[in-house]
Amino acid sequence: MSGVFTGAVRPGAWVFLFIFLAALLVAPFLANDYVLTILILILYFAYVGQAWNIMMGFAGQLSLGHAIYVGLGAYTTAALYVHYGVGPWIGLIAGMAIAVACGALIGFLAFRFGVSGVYFAILTIAFAEFARIGFDHFGWVGASGGYFLPVAQYSHNDVWNLRGKPIMFYYLMLALSMAAFAICALLLRSRMGYFWQAIREDEEAARSLGIDTFRYKMYAVTISAGMTSVAGMFFAFYYNNLFPEQVFHISRSIELILGPIIGGIGTLFGPIVGAVLLTGLAEGLREIMDYFGYDAPGAKQVFYGVCLLVVVLLVPNGVWPPLARALRLTGGERRKTGEGHAGRETGEGRDR
Amino acid sequence: MMLRVEGLDVFYGDAQALDGVALDVPEGSIVAIIGANGAGKTSLIRTIGGMIRPRRGRILYRGEDIAGWPSHRVCDLGIGQVAEGRQIFPTLSVAENLEMGALLARARALRNRNRERVLALFPILAERARQAAGTLSGGEQQMLAIARCLMGAPDLVMFDEPSLGLAPAIVQDVLATIAELNRDGLTCVLVEQNVAVSLRLAARAYVLENGRVTLSGTGGELLADDRVRKAYLGL
């Protein structure tokens, strides 16, 4: 495929990426504990945002219940660790398998019986709610009373068992986010990535070209579910406590898709930019309010709402595409949203 | 016979769209299907293409019954379709749209040769290669839809209303292109509102009414037929 292909990252972008990465690598040595927790949070949202973006941004399948995959990964690794002493990385194999099976079940039910669009989104919410209510009564993992991992002061960082200081979790999430970026970049330019984009743009046309849409939508759901479950492992071992009401709650599902929506659905950098903006600014806002002595518990939610409004009104394709153009970073990582915007923004594709 | 359809029944729920439709498509020919809106023309093409499952009947392609096969398997046999309404991928570039047509196993090896071929056929697409497909004019989008289908190296292409919504001058271009492709050996099934032109191009033609084939013959025979002249040519 020749240079006609768009979406290629320009050399300038690689320099930018390199500086960004270098900054992230040294950040823990410059940041205090508080800033470090925020950076960890940003990386967490960057990771799950990228995982969700595979399904929605690449393949056009809207999931509003991604908390279920986080929760399944979290509970499985935590339960295996607490009950049987199985290390999280081994437990993750089981956690991923369960999350992938769950994604496959949702996908099969939906795609086999032609459930799509809004109805598919409702189905994903329903499954997350089933899980929430189910785990509320699942005594083996503490039911609604919560599930706790043993907490102790650790003198050294044990990566194998994920017991250690925040800095270890920071580098874990940094590695995971970078891996997710690499996986997304490879997937997007793969044959499967093109099949996904065809399905996202016009599923009927994709079928008429001979794309096995059922199969490729199943791949999108299961890959996304599997990747998301890894974030669950982090969640369990970083926070050391799991409550069904929090882990599976729909607000968790919504929270993790705000980053990619604000950053730019379907773009490679969008979920990362979105996570930085949203989490970074929300925490910054709290700092400022603290400084002036205000204490408003709902301020973060209001701020999220305002961000979403501003983005929907001013940059409906997310912050990243116009930002990238302004910085002249990409050769043309254009808008990759659904067909809904297609007619409205003709000319967008001629950005080079 | 390259494609033979026998006793095809298609239902949407309780509503019957096709009722015992039979059809023959000889290799290398253009076969026209004419009929009013809702007569079942699109249903017929979509059923042959594997987009809809028939309830009864056989679809024989080179002797093999492919009725009920999913569309990706039908495409892999070399049956392409250019759907009604120019279903291109609007935010992808023209070049990407073309590559999408050649992602199937049967077409990948022939990709470069086919790209040269379709760009020679539609030079405007080469000029617009980097442009988002949604920014093309209606006629250019139709050309892209046809070109994308040809990238899949089909032996048989079913065109559903290729001239719908196009300016008269462009309609002639599109239909001339189909005739040219046919001269190069492509077998075509043509559903076209432009009845006079399509009957002139067609070796065989079928009239669909309420899901049934009510009349068939050579294009010339149907052009001369009183009922056709009255109902479809307004003469």
Among B74, B100, B152, the residue with its CB nearest the CB of A194 is B100
Count of beta carbons in the 10 Å neighbourhood of residue A163: 20
Residue pair A29/A36 in contact (Cβ under 8 Å)? The answer is: no
Q: Looking at beta carbons, which residues of chain B come within 8 Å of A343?
A: 90, 134
In chain B, which residue's Cα lies nearest the Cα of A205? B87
**Is B77 part of the contact surface with chain A (CB cutoff 8 Å)?**
no
Question: Which alpha helices (DSSP H) does chain B contain, by range?
Answer: 41-48, 71-76, 94-101, 105-108, 111-121, 123-127, 138-150, 168-183, 195-201, 219-224, 226-232
One-letter amino acid for residue A46 of the chain: A
Q: How many residues does chain A have?
A: 352
Angle A6-A184-A199 (CA atoms, 0-180°, nearest 5)?
Answer: 65
* Topology of domain B1-78+155-235, CATH: Rossmann fold (3.40.50)
> pLDDT digits over B7-39, tens only?
999 999 999 999 999 999 999 999 999 998 889
**Is B126 part of the contact surface with chain A (CB cutoff 8 Å)?**
no
Place of tokens 């189910």: A134
Cα(A152)–Cα(B129) distance, integer angstroms: 61
Residue pair A73/A246 in contact (Cβ under 8 Å)? The answer is: no
* pLDDT of the residue at A341: 36
Residue pair B110/B150 in contact (Cβ under 8 Å)? The answer is: no
Q: Which two tokens stand for residue B93?
A: 């570039």
Inspect the interface and report whether the beta carbons of B71 and A349 lie closer than 8 Å.
no
CA distance B74 to chain A (A): 7
Buried b vs exposed e over A97-111: b needs ≥16 C-beta within 10 Å?
ebbbebbbebbeebb
pLDDT band at A9 (very low <50, low <70, confident <90, very high): low
What are the residue ranges spanned by the domains of chain A? 11-350
**Is B6 part of the contact surface with chain A (CB cutoff 8 Å)?**
no
Going by C-alpha positions, the residue among A131, A122, A143, A126 that lies closest to residue A99 is A131
H/E stretch holding A212:
none
Residues of chain B with CATH 3.40.50.300: 1-78+155-235
Interface mutation target, options B47, B53, B81, B89, chain A, most CBs of A under 10 Å? B89
Higher-confidence residue of A14 and B3: namely: B3
Inspect the interface and report whether the beta carbons of A205 and B88 lie closer than 8 Å.
yes
Q: Coil, strand, or helix at residue B68? A: coil
Angle B87-B89-B91 (CA atoms, 0-180°, nearest 5)?
Answer: 145
> pLDDT digits over A211-253, tens only?
999 999 999 999 999 999 999 999 999 999 999 999 999 999 9
pLDDT band at A38 (very low <50, low <70, confident <90, very high): very high
Q: Looking at beta carbons, which residues of chain A come within 8 Å of B52?
A: none
pLDDT band at A188 (very low <50, low <70, confident <90, very high): very high
Q: Which two tokens stand for residue A99?
A: 């999350």
Cα(A252)–Cα(A79) distance, integer angstroms: 21
Cα(A259)–Cα(A273) distance, integer angstroms: 7
What torsion do the CA atoms of B213, B219, B220, B225 make, to the nearest 10 degrees? 20
Inspect the interface and report whether the beta carbons of A5 and B103 lie closer than 8 Å.
no
Q: Which two tokens stand for residue B92?
A: 């992808």
Residue pair A303/A289 in contact (Cβ under 8 Å)? The answer is: no
Q: Coil, strand, or helix at residue A83? A: helix
In chain B, which residue's Cα lies nearest the Cα of A198? B89
In chain A, which residue's Cα lies nearest the Cα of B97? A198
What torsion do the CA atoms of A151, A154, A159, A163 make, to the nearest 10 degrees? 0
Inspect the interface and report whether the beta carbons of B72 and A347 lie closer than 8 Å.
no
Q: Which residues contact A186 (CB under 8 A, 6 or more apart)?
A: none
CA distances from A224 to A134, A219, A221, B234 (A): 22, 8, 5, 57
**Is B220 part of the contact surface with chain A (CB cutoff 8 Å)?**
no
**Is B86 part of the contact surface with chain A (CB cutoff 8 Å)?**
no
Inspect the interface and report whether the beta carbons of A210 and B104 lie closer than 8 Å.
yes
Residue pair A128/A113 in contact (Cβ under 8 Å)? The answer is: no
Residue pair B174/B163 in contact (Cβ under 8 Å)? The answer is: yes
Among A202, A212, A349, the residue with its CB nearest the CB of B131 is A349
Cα(B60)–Cα(A15) distance, integer angstroms: 58
A157 has pLDDT over 50: yes
pLDDT band at A8 (very low <50, low <70, confident <90, very high): low
Q: Looking at beta carbons, which residues of chain B come within 8 Å of A201?
A: 89-92
Residue pair A99/A66 in contact (Cβ under 8 Å)? The answer is: no
> pLDDT digits over A283-308, tens only?
888 888 888 887 777 788 888 888 88
Q: Looking at beta carbons, which residues of chain A come within 8 Å of B83?
A: 204-205, 208
Question: Which alpha helices (DSSP H) does A240-349 contain, by range?
Answer: 244-247, 250-263, 270-291, 299-314, 320-326
Q: Which residues contact A68 (CB under 8 A, 6 or more apart)?
A: A99, A102, A124, A127, A128, A131, A248, A253
CA distance B154 to chain A (A): 11
Q: How many residues does chain B have?
A: 235
Going by C-alpha positions, the residue among A223, A234, A282, A236 that lies closest to residue A258 is A282
How would you class B126 by CB atoms within 10 Å of its CB: exposed for 0-12, middle for 13-18, buried for 19 or more?
middle
Among A212, A339, A350, the residue with its CB nearest the CB of B90 is A339
> pLDDT digits over B120-145, tens only?
989 999 999 999 999 999 889 999 99
Q: pLDDT above 90 covers what percent of chain A?
A: 64
Q: Looking at beta carbons, which residues of chain B come within 8 Å of A350?
A: 130-132, 135
In chain A, which residue's Cα lies nearest the Cα of B106? A210
Mind spelling out the 3-state secondary structure of A128-182?
A: HHHHHHHHHCCHHHCHHHCEECCCCCCCCCECCCCECCHHHHHHHHHHHHHHHHH
Inspect the interface and report whether the beta carbons of A205 and B89 lie closer than 8 Å.
yes
In chain A, which residue's Cα lies nearest the Cα of B88? A205
φ, ψ of residue A8 to 5 degrees: the values are -70, 140
Q: Looking at beta carbons, which residues of chain B come within 8 Å of A335?
A: 91
Higher-confidence residue of A20 and A257: namely: A257
Residue pair B7/B32 in contact (Cβ under 8 Å)? The answer is: no
CA distance A27 to chain B (A): 38
Among B76, B99, B101, the residue with its CB nearest the CB of A1 is B99
> pLDDT digits over A104-113, tens only?
999 999 999 9
A4 has pLDDT over 50: no
Interface mutation target, options A188, A190, A209, A346, chain B, most CBs of B under 10 Å? A209
Inspect the interface and report whether the beta carbons of A209 and B49 lie closer than 8 Å.
no
* pLDDT of the residue at A128: 97
pLDDT band at A334 (very low <50, low <70, confident <90, very high): very low
Cα(B218)–Cα(B225) distance, integer angstroms: 11
One-letter amino acid for residue B94 of the chain: V
φ, ψ of residue B77 to 5 degrees: the values are -75, -15
What torsion do the CA atoms of A313, A250, A188, A214 make, to the nearest 10 degrees? -120
Inspect the interface and report whether the beta carbons of B103 and A191 lie closer than 8 Å.
yes
Among B103, B135, B148, the residue with its CB nearest the CB of A194 is B103
Cα A156 vs. chain centroid, distance in angstroms?
29
* pLDDT of the residue at A88: 95
Q: Looking at beta carbons, which residues of chain A come within 8 Å of B75?
A: 208-210
Inspect the interface and report whether the beta carbons of B152 and A342 lie closer than 8 Å.
no
Among B76, B96, B132, the residue with its CB nearest the CB of A348 is B132
Task: Compute the mean pLDDT over every residue in chain A, rounded to the nearest whole number.
Answer: 87
CA distance A320 to chain B (A): 16
Average pLDDT for consecutive 10-residue bins of chain B (235 residues)?
96 94 96 92 95 95 95 94 88 92 86 91 92 92 93 95 86 90 95 90 94 94 90 81
